Structure 1
């Protein structure tokens, strides 16, 4: 199955200020997520952001929160972003495909992915845009999500599938600005 821009929502899970210092390669995860988010905007792919107990963990890092409407940010207490169904009431929450970034891979990301799959959604986890405190937890979670039916992808896989073809003005613009 291919990732389609018209059917996708970019889901950014719990990349929050106070959690970030404990996350392995956190800055790289943010950079890769921001890269995808910028391209998603250009391609009219909606972005949803979740925040796990923001009173304790702080808000989403500013670079990812910038330009995101308030109704696209979901405060949660459940580890799974999909547990209470609120996610699906937000702009873009009704789409069939979810491209997932965030942390922690083995907790909130994995539980969300498992719930989305159980619900019948197609789920694509961006390997370089998810992380945990420990590399072993990330690796185990990626294996488990793949076994459950999620596709583990790279950020470029997502973008080239969203674009579908070369030669368009959009392709030229994105290639020039984002693909190196």
Structure 2
């Protein structure tokens, strides 16, 4: 199943100041999440950013906050965004059945969010090159578990190209710097 621009939204999970430095391959996770946030902004795709227990983990990285200028932010204490009161309703209000998911930690908050959103009826896609954990083992195990449960495993470029659908358009030219 292809990701469709008109049917999808982006959810960036917990890429926060005190957690990000401990994440395996953090630079790639942040860079790809930024590419997706910028692509979503340019294409008019709704974006959401969660922040886990800001008092303890700090807010989102400054780069995420800057790129997510049009995004809706919400704080949570549940590991799963879907378990946090009001979040599923917030996402449903966008009237988009596909959720593109990035963030940290993939084996805790991202995984529990993916399963919760899938159970709520969303079609969930994990952007594997924009999600990680403190250890590569936890990252790999989470991806395997989500794949086995029917979560779509995609990459940043898959998402961008599926959002674009074709070359030679103004949108394609606008997003080309994110792909090169």
Fold agreement, TM-score > 0.5: yes
Q: State the alpha-carbon separation in 1 of the partners of residues 148 and 48 from structure 2.
A: 25
For residue 17 of structure 1, what is the aligned residue in structure 2? 17
Q: How does 1:18-167 map to 2 (within 5 A)?
A: 18-66=18-66, 68=68, 72-90=72-90, 93-167=94-168
Do the aligned residues in 2 keep the contact of 1:5 with 1:45 (CA within 8 Å)?
Answer: yes
Q: State the alpha-carbon separation in 1 of the partners of residues 169 and 37 from structure 2.
A: 20
Aligned length: 179
Shift of the 70–34 alpha-carbon distance from structure 1 to 2, 3 Å rule, reads: closer
Specify every segment of 5 or more residues in structure 1 that has no aligned partner in the other structure, as ranges: none
Q: TM-score, normalised by structure 1?
A: 0.93
CA deviation vs aligned residue, 1:145-174 (integer Å, no higher than 9, x gap): 111111110101001110111111111221
| Aligned-partner SS, 2:82 | coil
Q: State the alpha-carbon separation in 1 of the partners of residues 21 and 125 from structure 2.
A: 26
Do the aligned residues in 1 keep the contact of 2:34 with 2:67 (CA within 8 Å)?
Answer: no
Shift of the 69–33 alpha-carbon distance from structure 1 to 2, 3 Å rule, reads: closer
How far does residue 21 in structure 1 lie from its aligned partner after superposition? 1.6
| Aligned-partner SS, 1:50 | strand
Q: What RMSD over aligned residues (CA atoms) do the two structures have, in Å?
A: 1.7
How far does residue 144 in structure 1 lie from its aligned partner after superposition? 0.5
Do the aligned residues in 2 keep the contact of 1:81 with 1:87 (CA within 8 Å)?
Answer: yes
Q: TM-score, normalised by structure 2?
A: 0.93
